[in-house]
Copies of this chain bind each other. A is one copy, B any other.
């Protein structure tokens, strides 16, 4: 027997329509790529997105066609999303930090027909223009190219939505540590449900009184859903454009009275440095969600202690839309002392309803939530990928329907998940696993270290032994013995790295993460010192 409730498909056009009707005057403020601050409203974004839909229809874009977007966070980028998705086309976010060859590969793989592009990224596309046969037109998101199209378009009674909620809405390729990038094809339903989940109090808790600054790019796992949850909640959005340095972010936070932000650790590390150097205070920011890479505890505590800003650790991936867990204190943890709370809150966090999480041993069996058992992190849920675009990677779910994240993790007795390593980065020594991430975080807490990576080096007896690869801060000086002494007592004795290698450069990948694959290549000829 079926229920007798209304048929109301979860299509994303309803989100911007809701914002138009109930929060029509709420602002979307952008630092434009050209520099000046542009002010818009949800009412205007809605109208302009409908005009953009008209432009697409006039260009012959059909439902299911892919439309690329290579752009930083601005109101225009937001218009592109809703304009593309509203007519059932697929918005393919392109990460400009990928190599031109990779970008060219994924455009061809996706068969993008139209690409909207910030003017600063046009050279990337033009350098491969003749290798992109599916691309019919590239439209620069600027006054010269984009605005005349929007001005001339007549949306009229153009229809939005009205299709199956499982219709594809977005396409985002993972940077792919092995092989070519693979595309995650989000549906209207999955993005809508991700929006609901992230609006809940223990995830992002976005409200209509929030002013939200998504530092995390819209091409980086959907800006963690803020381009949807912002208008769904009616929060003012502040889009930072191209300037993510400490001074620029500080200026936006203060001028626009931002209450909530979301970013990778690097950006808030730069902001912290700026705040300390200038002695400035954040007067409106209440909380910031940090993910995309492990959050250094020192950064978390500095914002809380020095700026009274709640820093919340989170974890997710392109395949989880992206939010998987958030480190909010549940009731038992909230009852602990501040110091005892930190032990849990420094971890990646707990899953909201809609996400099922487990750690599995090598046979696939569940491991206990005891904070000790280490296993492969498996995830299943209402906004988790079931397969990649065009079947790349084959069947990616296990026999219980769980996706293997490629992460290695523990889950403690309070339900806090902690990633101890990437499966491919884990160091196997004497049959046991050593967490490279934990040693990295501890090493980076040393005042002389700017950034560090820990990789496994071949060892004749133990198989692999950990080696620290560190880049020091300018003018800083430290030696191998001091680093090892600094780690002593903080990690099991047998985890102690066999060596510390100082380098001038730690390579980062397109999403800002340390590129360990490249580090391992550079270390190819490295031989461990004999004890």
Contacts and interface: CB of A to CB of B under 8 A. Distances in A.
Interface of A: 1-8, 10, 14-15, 18, 21-23, 25-26, 63-64, 90, 164, 166-169, 184-190, 193, 195-197, 199-202, 205-209, 232-236, 321, 328-332, 334, 350-351, 353-354, 356, 380-389, 397, 401, 403, 415
Contacts of A190: 3, 5
A184 to B, nearest CB: 7
Given A209-B329, A350-B22, A3 B236 contact: no
Given A350-B22, A351-B22, A330 B208 contact: yes
Q: Can you list the 7 inter-chain pairs with the closest CB atoms, starting with the nearest?
A: A3-B187, A1-B64, A196-B196, A201-B207, A199-B200, A208-B330, A5-B190
A123 to B, nearest CB: 31
A3 B200 contact: no
A206 B200 CA distance: 8
Given A209-B331, A233-B202, A5 B385 contact: yes
Given A202-B208, A202-B233, A351-B22, A184 B331 contact: no
A507 to B, nearest CB: 31
Most buried by B among A6, A236, A389, A397: A6
Nearest to A66: B1
A10 B4 CA distance: 16
A389 B5 CA distance: 10
Nearest to A415: B22
A331 B328 CA distance: 25
What is the count of identical protomers in the complex? 2
A391 to B, nearest CB: 9
Nearest to A235: B331
A168 B1 contact: yes
Contacts of A350: 22
Contacts of A233: 200-202, 353
A7 B209 contact: no
Given A201-B199, A330-B209, A382-B10, A185 B353 contact: no
Contacts of A199: 196, 199-201, 353
Nearest to A15: B353
Contact of A381 (B6, B22, B201): B6
Contact of A384 (B6, B235, B331): B6
Given A1-B63, A1-B90, A199-B201, A382 B328 contact: no
